[in-house]
Amino acid sequence: MSMDRNWGLAVLIAGMLTTAVWAQAKPAKNSAPAKNVPVNQTAAVSATAEAGDVMAVVDGVALPMSALNDILVFSYGLPMARELIATELVRQEAVRRNVVVGLEDVQAEHELTLRLLLFPMIPDARQRDQAFAMYMEEGRVTQKQWDLTMERNAVLRKLAQGRVKITEEDLQHAFGMKFNRQAVVRHIQTASLADAEAVMKDLAAGAEFEKLVQTRSLSPSRQREGLLDPISAQSPGVPPALKEAALAMTKIGQLSNIIQAGTTYHILKLEKIIEPEKVKFEDVKEGLRKMLFEEMVQQQQMDVLRDLIQQAEEQKKIRYVNPILADLDRQAKSAGPGPAE
């Protein structure tokens, strides 16, 4: 079973905790609308009002709390319920792993979220705090929701950190992307995956790349034996997938995997690396390591949470008792995943 895309709301930024009203959803089958109860028809109203059974009394008519609860649950309940369930899954995993977070961990998560996710263009900490205060005043999220998310993410960070492994190739790739390293590559383009796989098979058998360019490639670059202009992260007109693949290669003569870009397929061979003139890799290596570590931790935080939700769904550990939530959950799952964002 694949994870419902709406679970994705239960991840890193607290501003994503709530979603639009479920205006198009059908009413829950097992939940009848509550009826107003005239005060003069029951002697119990005044006695039970303080206990929470009555929301308000309007000109002698008692409006039951259940009417408000049903509307709120129907309109906003499923996203918030999923938030609470996600938080509980993380809490249980923390107990299993003996992971404990303190106030300093939660505060650090808060500051990281402001600096890296919400306000990355604001370098000053005081200005970020001011921007956050305005963000909260706009009512996008309550303080309680924010605190809950930061505590959960602090736990996820500790669960995620052990998953992060940074290789020398990762650092080299990050250097290329950040400081405009250029890769000179040869290129074979095919019209189908089957054709690209046939090329890879021939290369594995010892065929020369340049000769296969002439017989197999559909690209105009075959007039130059597949040679492309130097590729950098800023190269215009080059598909992102090709940039990523070209800059990920670090050894001369290295072949890429098959790359799909639109409706065509590509194979690259690294010919030369052009290093930046003003920046040396060793001088920025540790800074790149810290940057990569944080990026990978953020990704792993999301992956850990998705894994926990996926497992709980597959093992049927989540059961909605409230009939409205249960019906909304069934409708969301029957609708299937929406378009990728």
pLDDT score of 102: 92
pLDDT > 70? residue 169: yes
Using DSSP's 3-state secondary structure scheme, residue 161 falls into: helix
Nearest residue to 332 (alpha-carbon basis) of 55, 82, 79, 4: 4
By residue range, what is the domain housing residue 233? 182-274
What CATH number is associated with residue 230?
A: 3.10.50.40
My answer on whether 159 and 229 are in the same domain is no
What is the biggest distance separating any 2 CA atoms in the chain, rounded to whole angstroms? 95
SS3 content of the chain, % helix, strand, coil (to 5): 55, 10, 35
142 located within any domain: yes
282 located within any domain: no
| Average pLDDT of the residues in 274-292 | 86
Nearest residue to 268 (alpha-carbon basis) of 199, 200, 185, 198: 185
Number of folded domains in the chain? Answer: 2
Bridge partner residues of 265 (DSSP): 190, 260
Instruction: With beta carbons less than 8 A apart as the criterion, state whether 10 and 80 touch.
Output: no
CA distance 46 to 125: 53
Q: Which of 226, 242, 274 is the last residue of a domain?
A: 274
Q: What is the pLDDT of residues 106-136, one digit of tens each?
A: 999 999 888 888 888 888 989 989 988 888 8
| Average pLDDT of the residues in 20-25 | 26
Which range, of 176-185, 189-198, 314-323, averages the lowest pLDDT?
176-185
My answer on whether 108 and 241 are in the same domain is no
pTM assigned to the model: 0.60
My answer on whether 241 and 114 are in the same domain is no
Instruction: With beta carbons less than 8 A apart as the criterion, state whether 195 and 203 touch.
Output: no
- Please give the radius of gyration of the chain, using alpha carbons only, rounded to the nearest integer: 28
Q: What is the pLDDT of residues 189-199, one digit of tens each?
A: 999 999 999 99
Indicate the Cα dihedral angle 132, 136, 137, 142, nearest 10°. -160
My answer on whether 16 and 153 are in the same domain is yes
My answer on whether 302 and 157 are in the same domain is yes
Instruction: With beta carbons less than 8 A apart as the criterion, state whether 63 and 57 touch.
Output: yes
My answer on whether 123 and 27 are in the same domain is yes
In whole angstroms, how far apart are CA 158 and each of 105, 110, 146? 9, 14, 19
pLDDT > 50? residue 17: no
pLDDT score of 6: 45
Q: What is the pLDDT of residues 57-77, one digit of tens each?
A: 888 888 888 888 889 889 888
- Report percent pLDDT > 90 for the chain: 26
Instruction: List phi, psi (to 5°) of 155.
Output: -65, -45
pLDDT > 50? residue 81: yes
Give the tokens for residue 162: 């052990």
100 located within any domain: yes
| Average pLDDT of the residues in 255-281 | 89
My answer on whether 254 and 324 are in the same domain is no
Nearest residue to 203 (alpha-carbon basis) of 257, 154, 272: 257
pLDDT > 60? residue 8: no
Residue 42 pLDDT level (bands cut at 50, 70, 90): very low
pLDDT score of 52: 62
255 located within any domain: yes
pLDDT score of 337: 59
pLDDT > 50? residue 29: no
| Average pLDDT of the residues in 314-320 | 90
| Average pLDDT over the chain, rounded to an integer | 80
- Report percent pLDDT > 70 for the chain: 83
CA distance 251 to 255: 9
Instruction: With beta carbons less than 8 A apart as the criterion, state whether 327 and 22 touch.
Output: no
148 located within any domain: yes
Residue 333 pLDDT level (bands cut at 50, 70, 90): confident
Q: Which helix (H) or strand (E) holds 143?
A: helix 143-161
My answer on whether 188 and 143 are in the same domain is no
**How many residues belong to the chain?**
341
CA distance 15 to 302: 15
pLDDT > 90? residue 253: yes
